[in-house]
Amino acid sequence: MSAHVHWVPELGGAEVGSLVEVTGDEAHHAVAVRRLRVGEEVVLTDGRGTSLTGTVDEVAKRRFTVRVDAHRFLARPGPEFTVVQAVPKGERGELAVEMLTELGVDTIVPWAAQRCVALWRGERAEKSRNKWAATAREAAKQARRSWFPDVTPIASTDEVLALVADAAQVFVLHEEATMPLAGLVPDATGPIVLVVGPEGGVSPEEVEAFARAGAPAVRLGPEVLRTSTAGVAAMSALLAGSARWH
């Protein structure tokens, strides 16, 4: 059985032989829910490339310490992938975030598209973003990622267009597009942006704005997927043709 992964935001000067203390909700879940025990092997990561493997040295009510046995740093994999995900209804947003994280997406941008039914405003915007970030963090731990994805604040269409301008390659999913996504080779240098519309699809005005910005509309197969699964299917196709999966 693989060692459980725990997130520690700051691993600082931890080195082989040193003790690292884990506190807060991360420690509480490990100790109270998972029944962490002294002597158990675990992995600690800061989600920014550093991973420590060690054994549990001490367990208390809301904390535990780990003696480091191995230290590893992995460079961020390339090319970099960003998914602009239109905000769906209910829990489908968290489902999309979870699967995109498991695939290895680097940045997830919640998008207030024209046809979005769910609206993030005021306090709800920050609360919803935090929920997506927590979902991404847990999925990254499950996927044993050394680099966790960034979840940005909700973006307007103008802000997404500005993001598109800085990308090496952009693909906008649209069921009426004529260009198939299958067979397209991602730019090896990145960054690459995939835009996923809401349940009602990307509006004609948005498609036109993206086209003017140099972002072509592409389609998957003949089936029309839900917004929560369309990005996952498209990212799988892109990753299969990229250096990340070769």
What's the CA gap between 225 and 86, in Å, rounded?
14
**Domain limits, the chain:** 4-73, 81-245
The per-residue pLDDT for range 135-189, each reduced to its tens digit, is 999 999 999 999 999 999 999 999 999 999 999 999 999 999 999 998 888 888 8
From residue 234, alpha-carbon distances to 94, 170, 217, 238 in Å are 17, 12, 12, 6
pLDDT score recorded for residue 156: 96
**Contacts of range 202-210, beta carbons closer than 8 Å, 24 or more positions apart:** 202/86, 202/113, 202/115, 202/172, 202/173, 202/174, 203/113, 203/114, 203/115, 205/114, 206/113, 206/114, 206/157, 207/172, 207/174, 209/157, 209/161, 210/161, 210/164, 210/170, 210/172
- The model's confidence at residue 12, banded by pLDDT at 50, 70 and 90, is confident
Q: Does an H or E element contain 199, and which? A: none
Q: Coil, strand or helix: which one is 16? A: coil
End-to-end distance of the chain based on CA atoms, in angstroms?
A: 26
Least confident residue range of 37-41, 156-160, 183-187, 234-238: 183-187
Q: What is the pTM of this model?
A: 0.93
Answer whether CATH 2.40.240.20 is correct for domain 4-73: yes
The per-residue pLDDT for range 82-118, each reduced to its tens digit, is 999 999 988 999 999 999 999 999 999 999 999 999 8
pLDDT score recorded for residue 208: 95
Share of the chain above pLDDT 90, in %: 84
Q: Say whether pLDDT at 1 is over 80.
A: no
Fold (CATH) for 81-245: Alpha/beta knot (3.40.1280)
